[in-house]
Amino acid sequence: MFKNTTILITGGTGSLGKGLIRRLLNEEAKIVVYSRDEAKQAELVRKYPSIIRVIGDVRDFDQLDTTMKIHKPDYVFHTGALKRVDDIEFYPMEGIKTNIFGSDNVARASLINGVKKCALVSTDKSCQSVSTYGSSKFIAERLFTNYDYNSPSTVFCSVRYGNVIASRGSFIPLFLDQIDKGETLTLTDEKMSRFLFTLEDAVSTVINALKHSVGGEVFIPKIKAYTLPTVVKALEKIANKPATYKVNGLRAGEKLHESMLDDTESALAYEVKDTNLIHIRPQYTNKKWEDTKYTKYKGKVYISSNFVSEDIDELQKLIKRGINEE
């Protein structure tokens, strides 16, 4: 699908962006990285000399539009975002400018410039959100669905997923480092659960969502969740050291359990056959899906507390795989 195509990745210097670059270069695609971090772009070019780098902010529509007019991407992966939950609670307008207005700019430029498909990377925090970050991503999802509804040709979709092990900002490398140094860990709540999967799984999820998108859907992967004490036990085995922790309570914007799919969305949810994906169809749409490729989702509401695994050995292997990938 991607051989001899041009792919633009916003925020391409982040963990997911770099994972997408590695995978898509193997499929012989031309990659354009659009981000505002020139230092990390320079590092990327040293590692992947064939990529094209463009310094720009998703808040800047003119730069996005010019970039697309010059490089004519066939596909766009919109990974650029402000995503630190507690920081955005204190600087909400900055999150809104990047995650909402920036996403609108990416979608509008993609539509104007005839991009074939454009995928927004969202978050499990957008479902039943209690944070500015999650709410900004939920609105971005709705923008992409609306662009799809009004688009004569460009297909738009969104992808939600959970915490990527060892990605930039992940708590797992921090916990491992603290255990190694004998420091006390800080947990927010012993009952807290989080969806966890590896960077390569995240890359596969995003690529498969774009491949299978008909238009306007929100995709979610079928993944397991783990409580924080289970994570600590797995990290103790990896570090071969005991850990101590204290409980500080929820931070601003945090939830005890994350959601991928709520009860209202479940009525619009379908499993995509031969994949690990579920998609949520838009409440208003002019698209049609081939029934043979989907089955109606009849599982539990996709909240992390409903999919908790206490298998420490399983999680230990998952974390090791995630760390090695990064």
How much is the pLDDT for 239?
A: 92
Residue 4 has pLDDT above 90, yes or no: yes
CA 269, 270, 271, 276 dihedral sign is negative
Residue 325 has pLDDT above 80, yes or no: no
Domain boundaries, the chain: 6-162+198-221+259-298
Residue 168 has pLDDT above 80, yes or no: no
Comparing 73 with 321, which gets the higher pLDDT? 73
Question: Do the strands 117-121 and 155-159 form a parallel or antiparallel pair, or are they unpaired?
Answer: parallel
CA distance 23 to 106: 22
DSSP string, 54-105: EE--TT-HHHHHHHHHHH--SEEEE------HHHHHHSHHHHHIIIIIHHHH
Residue 183 has pLDDT above 80, yes or no: yes
Average pLDDT, the chain: 94
Mean pLDDT to the nearest integer, 278-293: 94
- Secondary structure (H, E, C), 132-159: HHHHHHHHHHHHHHHHHHHCCCCEEEEE
Question: Do the strands 225-227 and 193-197 form a parallel or antiparallel pair, or are they unpaired?
Answer: antiparallel
Mean pLDDT to the nearest integer, 219-239: 94
**Which residues are annotated as catalytic?**
125
Residue 221 has pLDDT above 70, yes or no: yes
pLDDT category at 299 given cuts 50, 70, 90 is confident
Residue at 298: amino acid letter: K
pLDDT category at 170 given cuts 50, 70, 90 is confident
Q: Express each pLDDT in 57-68 by its tens digit.
A: 999 999 999 999
User: Angle CA(194)–CA(198)–CA(203) in degrees, nearest 5?
Assistant: 115
Residue 17 has pLDDT above 80, yes or no: yes
CA distance 273 to 279: 11
How much is the pLDDT for 326?
A: 61
Nearest to 269 by CA among 214, 320, 235, 218: 218
CA distance 248 to 267: 37
Range 6-162+198-221+259-298 has CATH code 3.40.50.720: yes
How much is the pLDDT for 308?
A: 95
Q: Express each pLDDT in 194-217 by its tens digit.
A: 999 999 999 999 999 999 999 999
How much is the pLDDT for 250?
A: 86
Q: Considering the chain, what percentage of its residues have pLDDT values greater than 70?
A: 99
- Secondary structure (H, E, C), 27-49: CCCEEEEEECCHHHHHHHHHHCC
Mean pLDDT to the nearest integer, 232-240: 93
